[in-house]
Amino acid sequence: MVKIKKVVRVWKHVRADASQLALLVEGLSKNYGPRRALDNVSLGVGAGEFVALLGPNGAGKSTLFQLLSGLFAADAGRIVVAGHDLNAHPTAALARFGIVFQQPTLDLELSVAANLRFHAGLHGMSSALARERSARVLDQFGLAGRAAEPARNLSGGNRRRLELARALMHEPTILLMDEATVGLDPASRLDLLRIVRTLVAQSRVAVLWATHLCDEVTEADRIVLLHRGKVLKDCTPAQLLQDTGAHTVEDAFIQSTREDAAA
């Protein structure tokens, strides 16, 4: 496996070098009426990094992804994607994301290949380039033999594979995986995680993987622990265990969120 050079918390020290990161989030806040969904959140993801955004339900993970994907605007802070400020240059910034949302977004009546062609059209790809890339990703994810079938025929795990293949069609700088294993059986969940980890190692695409499942983050390059809209920890799994004195990530997660709740 390719050795991944880690970029650990560069965003805290080199504000001017945002262009060197796949993703930079600085001081991001979002309110919904009196409720503060995100409170001064900062994090960075470098090329070839797998960063796990770990938090319980209601921690603010989905709100963060909604802001990153341009669905809503932040009340404060900035988002920079591959050197493009999301506020100043939204089209350029959003084009560098590949996104797999928590809720399925395939058109189940279209064929597997047609779902990819539709996405290619949204990104302005020529027909020839769309054919080339769709053939490549379908082969990569073991779906080449099912290209003509309606997406409805695919199992839950293969639908997620197709969504991931679609997200990679335009060769993004960073993948956003928003609770992408929800509803999958254990084997399919581990399979999707293995595929994404392989992508990181081989193509150096950056990944921000949101989850509340501790077993999905033990091999992450970094864990960003989010709770009640705040970043409690941003460190390696080993450092998280050392800081909390816990024996497992799950114990550290429970301990950190419980202590925060009691504070």
Domain check: are 134 and 157 in the same one?
A: yes
Q: Does residue 6 have a pLDDT over 80?
A: no
* Secondary structure in 3-state letters for 68-105: HCCCCCCCEEEEEECCEECCCCHHHHHCCEEEECCCCC
pLDDT at 20: 76
Domain check: are 92 and 182 in the same one?
A: yes
Domain check: are 71 and 194 in the same one?
A: yes
Domain check: are 20 and 91 in the same one?
A: yes
**If you average pLDDT over residues 131-156, what whole number do you get?**
95
pLDDT digits (tens, 9 = 90+) for 192-228: 999 999 999 988 899 999 999 999 999 999 999 999 9
Q: Name the residue range of residue 250's domain.
A: 10-96+173-262
Q: Does residue 29 have a pLDDT over 70?
A: yes
Domain end, chosen from 123, 150, 171, is at 171
Domain end, chosen from 120, 141, 171, is at 171
59 belongs to a structural domain:
yes
Domain check: are 83 and 201 in the same one?
A: yes
Domain check: are 156 and 183 in the same one?
A: no
- What stretch of H or E contains 239? helix 237-244
Instruction: Give the residue, 252 or 13, on which the prediction is more confident.
Output: 252
Q: Does residue 5 have a pLDDT over 50?
A: no
**If you average pLDDT over residues 29-52, what whole number do you get?**
96
Instruction: Give the residue, 100 or 3, on which the prediction is more confident.
Output: 100
Domain check: are 248 and 121 in the same one?
A: no
Domain check: are 39 and 91 in the same one?
A: yes
Average pLDDT, the chain: 90
Domain check: are 145 and 184 in the same one?
A: no
C-alpha to C-alpha distance for 227 and 7, rounded to whole angstroms: 23
pLDDT digits (tens, 9 = 90+) for 162-200: 999 999 999 999 999 999 998 899 999 999 999 999 999
- For residue 177, which of 92, 94, 68, 93 has the smallest C-alpha distance? 68
pLDDT at 261: 46
Q: Are 102 and 180 in contact (CB under 8 A)?
A: yes
Q: Does residue 112 have a pLDDT over 80?
A: yes
pLDDT digits (tens, 9 = 90+) for 233-250: 999 999 999 999 999 999
What CATH code is carried by the domain that includes residue 43? Answer: 3.40.50.300
Domain check: are 55 and 178 in the same one?
A: yes
- Res. 18 pLDDT band, cuts 50 70 90: low
- Res. 134 pLDDT band, cuts 50 70 90: very high
Residues in a beta bridge with 28 = 41
180 belongs to a structural domain:
yes
SS3 192: helix
Domain check: are 39 and 49 in the same one?
A: yes
pLDDT at 23: 97
221 belongs to a structural domain:
yes
253 CB-side CA count, 13 A: 23
Q: Are 164 and 101 in contact (CB under 8 A)?
A: no
Return the axis-axis angle of helices 156-168 and 127-140, rounded to nearest 10°. Answer: 140
- Strand order of the β-sheet with 222-227 is 97-100, 174-178, 206-211, 50-54, 222-227, 230-235
pLDDT at 258: 83
210 belongs to a structural domain:
yes
The DSSP output letter for 209 is E
2 belongs to a structural domain:
no
70 belongs to a structural domain:
yes
Domain end, chosen from 136, 171, 206, is at 171
- Res. 12 pLDDT band, cuts 50 70 90: very low
pLDDT at 13: 38
4 belongs to a structural domain:
no
1 belongs to a structural domain:
no
Domain check: are 89 and 182 in the same one?
A: yes
pTM equals: 0.89
Number of domains in the chain: 2
